[in-house]
Structure 1
Amino acid sequence: MDPTAISATELDVASLVIRLALGPMLILHGLNKVKGGLDGTAGWFESLGLKPGWLHARVAAATEIGAGLIVTLGLLNGLGAMAFVGLMAVAALTDHRGKGYFIFKGGWEYVLLVGIVAVALAVMGPGRWSLDNALGWDFTGLGWGAIALVGGLLAAAGMLVTSYRPAKNEVSA
């Protein structure tokens, strides 16, 4: 099949399906942190080496809910994708690092896939059935894919440099 033969409607459907898979999933992750009790999430973050845990629990929950919401709505597409990349990079380097590739062993397979799909969405765009389209905004294309990837990784690196303090025996994991 000639790739140029893909219709705009087919791309719009693909974008919508991706947004409806990624966005609500991340919203639920954020709501789970809140529902489970931010104090419990804070303790878990502290055990991962994210200090102060109380702050990171709140920032993570708010970022997950916010990024999930804007991706679901197709609003600020490239920026939403960048938040996904940042969140997944932090998760990969704190909770999943040293556990191998496969998620069933606690590995980083899942967070890598979510991050890659978010970058693809930044390149492809949220489609016609999005708030970006309704507002005439264009946060889409190769440049926005690069911004989502590099910006997300830089945001994750900045957070880790300033806040990641694992116990000495956890650093080599």
Structure 2
Amino acid sequence: MGLLLLRLGTGGVLAAHGAQKLFGWFGGHGIEGTGQFMESVGYTPGKASATAAGLAETGGGVLLALGLATPAAGAAAAGAMAGAAAVHMPSGFFAQEGGYEHAASLGLAAAGLAVTGPGRLSLDHALGHVFDRGWMVPAALGATAAATAVVVGARNRRVRRQQEGEQEALFEE
């Protein structure tokens, strides 16, 4: 029952945040507004970054809540939250100061579910763990860690160059 509650809470919050980005629901800004924000914090191209983050959060959140393809869902959500945490790092830890507390908490919960598994009250369990094999956990988390390192690293270099007065883009849109 505990894993079900954790999956529903974490997955629900992630899916809602993703829906803000993708559809403008729940007071969000949709792809257009989120894309502009992504550009402003160094994730380019903005619309593609907004789409990727929105899909990882919405898809990962829904799949986590259902307990389906849990390793991939948790890894995707953790990667998106690592990207969000990178943006908030300069503001420190606490969310009330604009810090990375919220993103880190969601990302760690999602990664924890990827590693622990969804529990008995899940679609993965009902389907005989077809999408939840032991080898999938290190594969999903490893691929996500590598992709996140590349994307966040490029973003951090771009932001650093802009702060130093260089306007050269690392990637062209």
Q: What TM-score range do you get, normalising by the shorter chain?
A: 0.7 to 0.9
Once residues 76 and 164 of structure 2 are traced to their aligned partners in structure 1, the CA distance between those partners, rounded to angstroms, is: 26
Q: Secondary structure at the match of 1:98?
A: helix
* Deviation sequence 1:61-89 (CA, Å, 0-9, x none): 12211111110110011111111210111
| Aligned partners of 1:88 and 1:114 also within 8 Å | yes
Instruction: Decide whether the 8 Å contact of 2:74 with 2:110 is kept in 1.
Output: yes
Q: How many residues align?
A: 157
- Root mean square deviation of aligned Cα: 2.4
| Corresponding residue to 1:52 among 42, 45, 55 | 45
Instruction: Point out where structure 1 has 5 or more consecutive residues left out of the alignment.
Output: 1-12
Question: What is the distance in 2 between the residues matched to 1:119 and 1:83?
Answer: 9
Structure 2 distance, partners of 1:64, 1:143, is 19
TM-score of the aligned structures, taking structure 2 as reference length: 0.80
Corresponding residue of 1:169: 163
Q: How far does the alpha carbon of each residue in 1:2-23 deviate from its partner, in whole angstroms, 9 at most, with x for none?
A: xxxxxxxxxxx01100011011
Aligned residue runs from structure 1 range 78-97, under 5 A: 78-93=71-86, 95-97=87-89
C-alpha spacing 1:50/1:72, structure 2 compared with 1 (3 Å): same
Amino acid at match of 1:82: A
1:105 and 2:100 are equivalent in the alignment:
no
Residue of structure 2 in register with 1:119 after alignment = 111
- The C-alpha deviation readout for 1:125-154, integer Å capped at 9, x for no partner, is 11111110111016377982x555543322
- Residue deviations 1:33-56, cap 9 Å, x none? 121231111110000011110111
Q: Counterpart of 2:7?
A: 19
Q: Measure, in 2, the Cα distance between the counterparts of 1:170 and 1:21.
A: 41
Structure 2 unmatched runs, 5+: 166-173
Match of 2:127 among 121, 135, 140: 135
Is it true that 1:155 corresponds to 2:143 in the alignment? no
Cα distance in structure 2, aligned partners of 1:148 and 1:100: 29
- Give the SS at the match of 2:129: coil
Q: Distance in 1 between matches of 2:164 and 2:62?
A: 34
Contact 1:77 1:126 in 2 (8 A): yes
Normalised by the size of structure 1, how large is the TM-score?
0.80
